[in-house]
Amino acid sequence: MNRVIKEISVWLKTLPESRMLLILSLVTGLCSGFASLLLKNAIHFFAWILKGWFNTPAESILYIVYPGAGMLLSLLFVRYVIKDNIGHGVTKVLQSIARNESRIKRHNTWSSMAASSVTIGFGGSVGAEAPIVYTGAAIGSNLASLFGLSYRHMTILLGCGAAGAIAGIFKAPLAGILFTLEILMFNISMTSMIPLLVSAVTAATVSFFFLGDAVVFSNALEAFKMNNIPFYIGLGIAAGFISLYFTRTTLKIEDKIGSIKNPYKRWIVSSVSLGILIFLFPPLYGEGYSSITELLNNNSEEAVGTFIFQDLTNEQWFIPLFFLAIVFLKVVAMAFTNAGGGVGGTFGPTLVIGGIFGFVFSRVVNLLGIHPLPETNFALVGMAGLMAGVMHAPLTAIFLIAEMTGGYMLLTPLIITSVVSFATIRGFERYSIYTKRIAKDGDLLTHDSDKATLTLLKTCELVENDFIPVRAEDDLGILTEVIAHSKRNLFPVLGKNGNLEGIILLDEIRSLIFEREKYKTVKVSDIMKQPLTTVNVNESMKEVMEKFEKTSAWNLPVLDQESRYLGFVSKSKIFSAYREQLKLVSHE
């Protein structure tokens, strides 16, 4: 077997890189599809073992214990086995593209699945989509690294893994492609989309083969009616504000709990809080898709779950008020899960909250007798509305729900609500839940070709080191000799430890080099000057360009972490690299 794999590997390496990319995109799609199946089944297995036997409200007391146990297992696994931060998978993928040349560690091909299956299976109130996206992206990245693909093609194959992961877990190939293009923010040409198509369709085919061709939500939908448009607009506006609450509350709670330095104290605070929330509100257990399914089937009492106040479910207004509380508390439960050591994402909770909110919105309108609304339609459209707002991804939201329902009957309301929700939150929040943190560091890739290209440039790759150094104690005669053998008009003055003490500009001392009588009396220390500013080799290109703009300099010295001189970075070098990178980004 190993011999066959080795021969295939040798043969692949003889192919042109573009053709190799297509074959590897197929392999990535297969692996991502199987990874999606494995994660879904692992989560269902844990959930079945732990609560499949619940029959009475008294047994639900275990809801207090289960989530904390899963979070602890995940915390120990990450802390002592993986020894790496694997949370917030989509954000990690974005960071790897911007900071690490699209390279993702090998353990991420399985570690995120292992940790998230325990977290969610035991009741952690997070989603499996971000971990599987991280897994798929890691599969693509490591395959590209194994076969020596370029950074550009490695990034595309990483995107193939992410597209395959979404396509596999939702049986939605188009949504997988749009997720990669819209949320991961790749700026690629049409020819580069072919590998994404291959990977997404392959992964979806794997899911269809093993799970059947039934769509995720196969409920009977009512035909679209024009007189419901004002309510879809209202749902979009409300979804935009719920999205704003979602984003800001999540980050605030995670930052607050994250300020507790001891990880076990964080776990205690989070697990106790989460356990109590789930005990009082059972739909918060796990991903929450089962509650959505029950709501879509008009089984609102079943959606409540094993509840200690079961008698209240017969009250007419209890159901909408109960699930309205779920809308706001699901965000809190998700933040507690992630902050306490669990591994999961925000994708699933976004869909769940959106679906529940759409149901509550329509149920309240119906109870008030304002206008008869189809609750199933509004629940599904609510999913798209919240996804468009939280993730800033209206296209992905529209087509994901369309594919999950097996048709495009809801296309018009999906477009209306998603666009309105996106427009609403954009008035208050520029960044999505995935990009808000990393945008502060200047590492965010965007659909703007100029900004994306600038972000892809690395300072360390643009350092020029052919400048001849001199020392402060050298005299003018030695400096003149150095000038005679240099092709540059800039000279760094270095100390004994390689530290930069100053710079000499030829234009400023040109007249001195003709005064031979001063060759022995004038020292470099007398005529050197301090640079206007310096650049750290690890600074982003955005920060470097800001320094050029502030100083109006043409060259700036580059220092390492110990402040030792490495060379200079120049505007001309940056502009040249920028043009080359722009060609790759725009034309492949």
How far apart CA 170 and CA 125 sit, in angstroms, is 19
Angle formed at CA 92 by CA 88 and CA 93, multiple of 5 degrees = 120
Residue with the bigger pLDDT between 20 and 425: it is 425
Q: Which fold has domain 2-211?
A: Clc chloride channel (1.10.3080)
**pLDDT over 50 at 587, yes or no:** no
Tens digits of per-residue pLDDT, 442-451? 555 555 555 5
How far apart CA 269 and CA 436 sit, in angstroms, is 25
Task: Write the CB contacts of 435 (distance below 8 Å, at least 6 apart in sequence).
Answer: 91, 94, 392, 444
**pLDDT over 90 at 335, yes or no:** yes
Ranges of H-type helices in 370-484: 375-391, 394-404, 411-426, 436-439, 449-456, 476-484
- Output Rg (C-alpha) for the chain, integer angstroms: 29
Is this structure's pTM higher than 0.75? yes
**pLDDT over 90 at 316, yes or no:** no
CATH hierarchy code of domain 226-442: 1.10.3080.10
How far apart CA 193 and CA 180 sit, in angstroms, is 10
Q: How confident is the model at residue 81 (pLDDT cuts 50, 70, 90)?
A: very high
| Cβ atoms within 10 Å of 363's Cβ, excluding its own | 22
Q: How confident is the model at residue 31 (pLDDT cuts 50, 70, 90)?
A: very high
**pLDDT over 90 at 465, yes or no:** no
Task: Write the CB contacts of 267 (distance below 8 Å, at least 6 apart in sequence).
Answer: 68, 71, 72, 75, 340, 341
* Matching residue, tokens 């779920």: 326
What is the CB-side half-sphere exposure of residue 151 using CA atoms within 13 A? 13
Q: How confident is the model at residue 59 (pLDDT cuts 50, 70, 90)?
A: low
Residue 151, pLDDT score: 76
Residue 486, pLDDT score: 86
Tens digits of per-residue pLDDT, 131-173? 999 999 999 999 988 888 877 788 889 999 999 999 999 999 9
Residue 395, pLDDT score: 93
Per the DSSP assignment, residues forming a β-bridge with 499 are 564
| Cβ atoms within 10 Å of 468's Cβ, excluding its own | 14
Contact 136, 161 (CB under 8 A): yes
How far apart CA 231 and CA 13 sit, in angstroms, is 57
- Provide, rounded to the nearest whole percent, the portion of the chain with pLDDT above 70: 87
Average predicted confidence (pLDDT) for the chain: 86
Domain range list for the chain = 2-211, 226-442, 454-587
**pLDDT over 90 at 200, yes or no:** yes
Residue 554, pLDDT score: 87
Q: Of the CATH numbers 3.10.580.10, 1.10.510.10, 3.40.50.1370, 3.40.50.1220, which one belongs to the domain with range 454-587? A: 3.10.580.10
Q: How confident is the model at residue 588 (pLDDT cuts 50, 70, 90)?
A: very low
Residue 441, pLDDT score: 57
The reply to whether 2-211 and 454-587 are identical in fold is no
Tens digits of per-residue pLDDT, 226-270? 999 999 999 999 999 999 999 999 999 998 998 898 999 999 999
Residue 216, pLDDT score: 63
Mean pLDDT, range 268-273, rounded to an integer? 94
